[in-house]
Amino acid sequence: MMLGSFFDPSPMKWDGQMPESMAVGADHVDWVYYAIYYFSLFFQVVITGLMFYFVWKYKRRKGDKLETPPDLTRIEILWTVLPLFFIVILFHVGFKGYVKNAIAGDNPLEIRVRGKQWLWEFEYPNGMKEIGKLMIPVGRPVKMVMSSDDVIHSFFIPEFRVKKDVVPGMYSNVVFEANKVGSAHVFCTEYCGTSHSGMLADVKVVPVQEFDDYMKAGPSNPNCPDPNAACPADMKAKWGEALFVQNACVTCHSRDGSASPGPTFKGVWGRHEALQSGEAIDVDENYVKESIRKPQAKIVKGFTNAVMPAFTISDRQIDAITEYLKTIK
């Protein structure tokens, strides 16, 4: 804190102690933050300064007289009561900022958020779902309607200065209005198990036009933008790899043969897989599709600790992932 200005190694050119401010209420929060910061700095310097001064000035010397302190009741009362005033002021500005950030603007865009161990799924008003990536139009109030499928998570976007727990069994909301185009992150800030720190999502704040276009087209293979043209396998696989990361498959499936909560995908294609039910199956297109859409249908032997969530991604995306799985040797 005190050293805040000495350390500024951030490659993102953040100014001072707070991250870049990208939403409407954020500047107010920063204002409050710096107000208490300087208030605290002042007190810290006064208290420490006096302490060192006294220690230096009244260091024990021969012949010191041992006196009783004079009656300081007045000063005592002063420094008991005076802070009350500061406190009232501090409380007031803090509460104002909080309420400001808790009230949604008119006609907000509602986005459904589902937290699962360990990914964020976003559903837009048109039904489109995406995992690990959140598109936000700039200059429009947004309301996140959030729920959790398993344990408590917490939705945190530092750049917007918003945070709210995502609690199973209830809905919670976060509202904000982005005022700057750019990128940010969603972090999970309620500890939720193994990959808590991997429960991230990319936030893209884009102009309204770009947002609307994106909503219409849905996610498409950036390597083959035309959905009707043929797409070479390696281009599909490339997109598949991106999806694999974006959808947080990486948090459960290693690609180098190391142990992970789900089976490793090193050499998964065509593998003869023993199932929990005692049967066995060869990994092919249909099995992959089923594993993604209905993971509980066939459980790989020995993987009963972690539960793979069902993914509702499009067929084209599944194709791309399948194409990618073939390439992990």
Partner 1 sequence: MTAAATHAPAHDDHPDPTESYLKVTHSVIPGAKGLLGWLTTLDHKRIGVMYLISVLTAFLIGGVFALLVRLELMSPGKTIMDADTYNHMFTLHGVVMVFLFIIPSIPAAMGNIILPIQLGAKDVAFPRLNLMSFYIYAFGACFALYSMINGGVDTGWTFYTPYSTRSNSFVIPMILGAFIMGFSSILTGVNFIATIHKMRAPGLTWGRLSLFSWALYATSVMQVLATPVLAITLLLLTMERAFGMGIFDPKLGGDPVLFQHFFWFYSHPAVYIMIVPGMGVVSELIGTFARRQLVGYWFIAMSSIGLALVGFLVWGHHLFVSGMSEYAAAIFSALTFLVAIPSGVKIFNWVATLHKASISLQTPMLWALAFIFEFTIGGLTGLFLGMLATDVHLHDTYFVVAHFHYVMVGGTVMGFVGGLHYWWPKITGKMYSEKMGVVGFILVTFGFNLTFMTQFVLGSRGMPRRYYDYLPQFQELHQISTIGSWILGFGFLVLGVMFVRSLLGGKPSPRNPWGSAALEWMTPTPPPIFNFLPGKEPVLTRGQYDYHLATDDELYDGYDDPMFPGREHDTRNKAKPSEGKAH
CB distance 233 to 278 below 8 Å: no
Rounded Cα distance between 265 and 85, Å, is 62
Given partner 1, ligand HEC, Cu ion, none, residue 257, with its beta carbon under 5 to 8 Å by kind, binds: none
Q: Which is nearer to partner 1, 167 or 215 (CB)?
A: 167
Number of residues near partner 1 (by CB under 8 A): 91
Contacts to ligand HEC by CB under 6 A: 117, 119, 247-249, 251-253, 261-263, 268, 273, 283, 288, 291-292, 295, 298-300, 303, 306, 308-309, 311, 321
Given Cu ion, partner 1, ligand HEC, none, residue 87, with its beta carbon under 5 to 8 Å by kind, binds: partner 1
Given Cu ion, ligand HEC, partner 1, none, residue 256, with its beta carbon under 5 to 8 Å by kind, binds: none
Q: Which is nearer to ligand HEC, 14 or 269 (CB)?
A: 269
* CB-CB neighbours of 210 under 10 Å: 15
Dihedral (CA of 8, 13, 16, 17) sign: negative
Given Cu ion, partner 1, ligand HEC, none, residue 247, with its beta carbon under 5 to 8 Å by kind, binds: ligand HEC
Contact flags string 277-316 toward partner 1, x per CB under 8 A? ----------------------------x-----------
Dihedral (CA of 13, 15, 20, 24) sign: negative
- DSSP letter for 216, please: H
Stretch that binds partner 1, among 90-98, 204-212, 278-286, 312-320 (CB under 8 A): 90-98
Tokens 């043209």, residue?
A: 229
C-alpha 44, offset from chain centre: 33
User: What's the CA angle centered on 207, arms 201 and 208, to 5 degrees?
Assistant: 100
